[in-house]
Each structure stands twice: as structure tokens, then as C-alpha cells.
Chains A and B, each alone.
Chain A
Amino acid sequence: MKPLDPRLVRTADAVRTHLAVTVVSGVLITGLILIQAWLLARVITGAWAGEGMDALGWMIAAVAAVAVARALLSYLAEASALHSAARTKSQLRRRLVAHVTGSGKVWLAEGGDREDGAPRAGELVTLATRGLDALDEYFSRYLPQLVLACIVPFAVLAVVFWADWISGAVILVTLPLIPVFMALIGMHTQQRTERQWRLLSRLGGHFLDVVEGLPTLAVFRRAKAQAAIIRGVGEDHRRATMGTLRIAFLSAFALELLATLAVALVAVEVGLRLLGGHMDYQTALLVLILAPEAYLPLREVGARFHASMEGVAAADQVFTELDRRRETAGPGAAGDEAAGQAPAPTGAPSPAAAGDIRFEGVGLLYPGRDVPALSGLDLTVRAGERLLLTGPSGSGKTTLLSLLLRLGEPTEGRISVRAPGGEWTPLDRLPADDWRLGIAWVPQHPYLFDVSVADNIRLGAPDADMERVREAARLAEADGFVSALPDGYGTRLGERGARLSAGQRQRIALARAMCRDAPLVLLDEPTAHLDPENAKAVRTAVTRLLEGRTAVIVAHDTGWAESVLGENLRTAALPLLTREAHR
């Protein structure tokens, strides 16, 4: 992994500011280190030679000044680093969110965005928050040390060479050994460590597995017996980990050993030449004080490498994500508005939603898949009818709804719509936002947001007043339990609507659809996972929702349909592979 990702520098201007600040403060700190070393050597030598406070006083005062200056510099550098880190994280996050949400292409359950290796929503959230937080360490600790590691050793080396070329030569020879040794050890051990880490994560997972399975173990009276196994696995875990660590610590060992040993060699060599009269005391002291400084930044960079690389890795994942979606947006899935075919959205519902819909040879192949989710579909949905779609899982029922919602565009064939009394128009010529305004959708697992019940219901009609919200809830058989919540319609639902049961969530989603008041209704398995009581309430609500509207309903279980959906019912079983199938 690169210590400094060029994409990071390009993307976030906060990074560029930070780099500039870091380099400037690095140069200043290097200067202060050299000045302090010279002052210390000079004062100690002066006192040895019999100079008193009057002669040395200004130099001692200068040491204090250097201390204050260094403190100020460290403070400013650290504060600026944390500041830049916060801004960089924000810039990366905003780009990520804009990128992920911007395309409007969010495939539904059967869809392909999980298939091309893209992270799941939960992973993206972790990445955008905790993952990027690791950049703090990278910015405030690693980058400054990296800059120092690039400046200080050379500056120290130059000064030591100028003062005493033999000591300079010792440092010049040992200094490059450190990165070389670390790389050599790293290469040798990497493979072995990786294998060990895999074993470790398996052993670590065992404890979690057993704790999660504790109720099951208790049922079979095996709970207490497992303690011995956990002890054994813990012992294996320790042995394996120690095996890994013995090797992993080797590179730190090489670094520490070389750095200290080199300082010891310089000290002895300088001491012997001083003894022999080949060198003066002040130079010897200067060399001794400066020698450890040449190695210090390298040690610090080494010590902080792993912690800091987490931040770089998180940034790397963000960039991968930014690139990925761009690549996988295939020809059919390309942004429709971006292609310039559709006029700008008007903000008014498209009249076509109240009319007929025609599928002609429509198919969809999700990016990264071999088998199409849907192919050669010919189907007409006439205004006012209720089309019940049945078929085994995987036959493309949900995909069809997804296409109607324009969450994706077909990769073959086309969908046309016709407003009452109008002409057939290809669906992709309509602004997606206007088209969706005419649709009310109740998915199989509706998502409820961590806002109030009322705001959840008026998701698709933000201007709806409380009267309309309450009426929608009443029609959806939701008014009763919502009113019983602590704050009624003002109750926050918690993450993913955790407060409510599956049946209640379904009824809120129906209220949402009622509130949207759209001419076209799409329902996906409205009662699949509900207990009989909730299922009954949902069926009642569905009957009301469908009154006077066109509907496409996906259902596995069709027994209830006849009585609920009424006389305008037509059933179509997927897959519909022939043009005659819908007749």
C-alpha cells in the first residue's frame, strides 16, 4: 500500500493544505532540532572549559526559546492535522454519498448490486464513519512523521558529515539498512503471517459461534461441557497467535536493534577518537546528540505504519467504490436523464401513469450476471385493471416492478406508456421523477425511517397535512396502533422501524401508498410473512388502496386474491416467454 495515495491528494483540497503545513512545520522542526543540539553541545563544552553564566547565558536562554518554539509548532501542526482530517473525511463522505445515491439505480431484492462485489449498505455506513475516522491517526501522526523521516535524517547526516565525516559515514551506512532489513523480513514473513491470521480469525470466530449458540447448547444440555472446549480453543488461539507474533515482531526488532546499535557504535567510535585527540569535545557531543535523531523519525513511522494504514485502506475503499459504480453502469443502465433523451422533470405527475403500459420483448441482465433476471417479456397492463403476477422465486416478478419504478432500465426491449386518449410513448422519454410521482409502491419489506410516524407516512407527499396523514393511516388499518404509541403520530420509529411488528410496518407502508394518492399501485407480496391477524388487516387495507386505481401485484400465495382484488382481476404467471402468453 502506498504511504501517500495520490488520489487522496487530488480529491481532497484539505489534504493539499495539510501537506503544505506539514512540510513547512517539518522543515522548521528539523532546524530547531539542529539548533538545540548545537546549543547543548556548545554550552556543555563551554562549562567544561570554564566559561561561566555570563558567557553562556544567551545560549541557555536560546535553548528555552527553542523549547517554546517547538511546543508551538507541535501544537499548530497537530491542531491543523485534525482540522484537515475532519475536512477531508467530510469531502470523501459527501462524494461517496452523492455517488452511491446519485444514479437513482437501486436494484431491488433480486437485483445485482450485491453480485458485483460491491459492499452492502451496512459496510458502506461503517466505511463512511468509523472507517474514515482512522484517517485522524494518519493525518496527525503518520504524515507528519513521514515528512520528518524524509527531511531529518538527511539534515542530520549533512550536519554530522560537516562536523565529522567518519561518524557521518557510520550513519550513512546503517541508516539505509533499516528499510532494507524491514523489507527483507517483511517479504519473508508476509506469507506465513497471512496464513496465520486466517487461522486466527477462524479460532476467534469459534467463541462467537458458541456464545450465539448457547440457547441451542442449553436445550441439549451441552452448555456446561463446552467450557472445556473453549479453554482448549483459547489455548490453540494463543499458541497460533504467538507463533505469528514471534515473526511479526521481528521487523520491529530489526529496526530497534539497528537504530540503537548504530548510536552505540557512533558513541564508541567518537569517544575513542576524542580520547586519542583526533576530535574536539564539542563536535563529539554534537554527533552523540544528533545520532539518535537521525533514526527517531524512521522508528516512529514504523511504529505508526499499521494503525495509520487503516485510514489509507478506508480511503482506498472509498475510491474503489467511486470507480466501481461508474464501470458497471452498462449501456442499458446508464443514467437516462444524463443521456439527454428525457426532458427535465416538471414536478407534476406524468398523466401516463393513469393509462396503459406495454412491455415489448423486455429483458434485464443485471451487471455481473450471466443469466438474465427477465427476458422477452410481452405484457400489457390496461388502465384500471388489477394484474396479479405469480411464479416461482427468481422468475423476475420483483424485477418487473423494479423496471416499472425505473430503478433500472431494461437491457433489451422497451416499455411504452399511453396516457388516457394519448399516444404510446417510450417510458424512458418521460422524466423518471414525474413518472414515479404517479406510482404508489408497497415493497415486500418496506423500509421505515428513523423519523416520526407521520413523516414516514408522508414520505411521498411531503406537503401532506396531519389530516391527510391520519386519513391515510385510517384507510390502511394503521390508525389504531399508531394512536396507541407514546407520542402517536409524532413517535419516532427507531432504526429500521424497530418499534413495530412486521404487520404494522406493512400497514404503515400501505398508509404511505395511500398518502401518495397515485393512479398506479405496485404491491410486492403484501402478506407473505405476516401472522393471520395482520394478514387480514393488510388485505382489508389493500382492498381500499386499489379502489379506482390500476395495480400490479406480485404474490406467491394467490388464494386471497379473488375476493380482495375484485372483478377487474387478471392473472399472469411468470416466466412469460411467448408473445401469446398474456392473451
Chain B
Amino acid sequence: MSRDHRPSYLEIRDLRVVFDKFVAVDGVDLRVEQGDLRFLIGPNGAGKTTTIDAVTALAPAQGSINHNGHELVGRKTHKIVRYGVGRTFQTASVFEDLTVLQNLDIAAGLRRRPRDMVRTRQEVSPRILEVMETTGLSRHQETKAGVLSHGQKQWLEIGMLMVQDATVLLLDEPVAGMSQGERDATGELLTKLAADHVVVVVEHDMEFLRKYAQSVTVMAAGKVIAEGTVAQVQADSTVQEIYLGTAGTKSLEEAKVEAELLGLDPEAVAVSGSTQSKEN
């Protein structure tokens, strides 16, 4: 929630990201509000992660990115974070040599005074205890993050976002490598977080998407091609075409599975795939 208790939002307008001459993101408009659990999907190279990178100043952005009235384009990463934008990465990047508690404490320390920095931590803040409880990491408080399982690391990342006091949560493939049980728990947690945060999830896992997405934005070749509920997106002809059209670039089996999960006819993939191979 924004500090004046109006609902938070993230509004991207006409975003362009260009690397040398390659246009990775080409005029993307995207508005996500608090209370929504938005999934950002699309084939490989669609520009999903690049869009998130642009929001956090990891990729060079043109256009406008606005969070609760603050323009983010042109600002440095750590300043953007201070406006309340937090993110996770595809590869869980926790501080492996520090304990779970130390990781969370650093994440929570954004507004700490210099005087507190040279002191030793005397007690664990209630917020950190709460987050450790929520993410099931209480038992591992003193464990080095480097020895956590992959799923636990992802959870620690989410936990770090939670204590960070972020209002926008950008999660890049948060359930990659997780077991079914861990996925469900993550889904529940994200649903809960979406109530008072702006949450954007980049995800390839279509089953996870169908279960937890409240709205979906589909990107392809740097553009937004569809937006709406899961059902609306599934019914969209452009989406069907894009997902089927990429059949040639991935294995037929993969495309079939993906199409099926999206609720499309897998046989259509086979046809489209075979036409392509003939053309080649």
C-alpha cells in the first residue's frame, strides 16, 4: 500500500528498450494495480525479463515508468528500490555466505541510520520473525543461505522482498525448480501479498499461471499482444497464433504441452509445426 493509503500502482507507458540496434522491448504499455496478481507471459525472447530489468534500471529504458506518482526512468537502481520497487531474479541470488537471518536483516535495513550500521544486531525485529514464520525459514535462521535447497532460496528471496518494505513486487520465475507442494505454497503466498502490493510475476509454468493468475499480459517480440483474464487470453486469436507459430523454434512436444496447458488444441500445433518444417 502506498503511504497515503491510496492503492499502489505501476504504470508503464510506451516503454522501449534498445540494445545497440536490437529492439528488445518495443512500445509496451502496462498498468498493474494493487490487488491484482498479474502474470507476464510470452515465448522466449518476448521481452518479459527485459521489461522488469527496465523498471529496475538494469536495462536502458525509454518512455515512462510511474510508481505512485514517481517517475522511475532515468533513476539509479538503488533509488528506484527506495521508491518501493523490489524484485527477484531467475537465479535465486541470496547472500550465500550469510545466514538466513543476516540476509533478511540486510534486506530490512534500507532506512537504517549509519549509527545502527556499526552496531551489532541486538534483537531480531518482529517483522523479520514474522516473515521467517511465513516463509517457513524459522528453523533455518542461523543456516547459511548457501546450503538451503533451491526452493528455500527462492522463498528467502521472496522473504527479503517482504521485509524490504516494497510496494511493487516483480518476481522473475519464482517457482522454477520448486516441487508441487512448494509451488502451491508460493501461489498462496503471492495471492496473499497481491492484496496490498502490486505484484507482477514472469512465469513459464502454465499450470501455475492457470491456478493463481488474476490477470495475464502476453508479450511477444517486445510487444504486448493481449491482456485480460486467463480465459480471455486463452481465447485470443493472436495469442493462439503466437504460441502456435513458435512451434518451429521449439520442440514439437514442448509446443504441444504448452498449447494444451493454455487450453488450445495441441493438434493445431502439430499441423503448424509440420507446415513450418516443410517450408524449411
Decide whether A and B are members of one complex. Answer: no
Measured CB to CB, the residues of B under 8 A from A are none
Measured CB to CB, the residues of A under 8 A from B are none
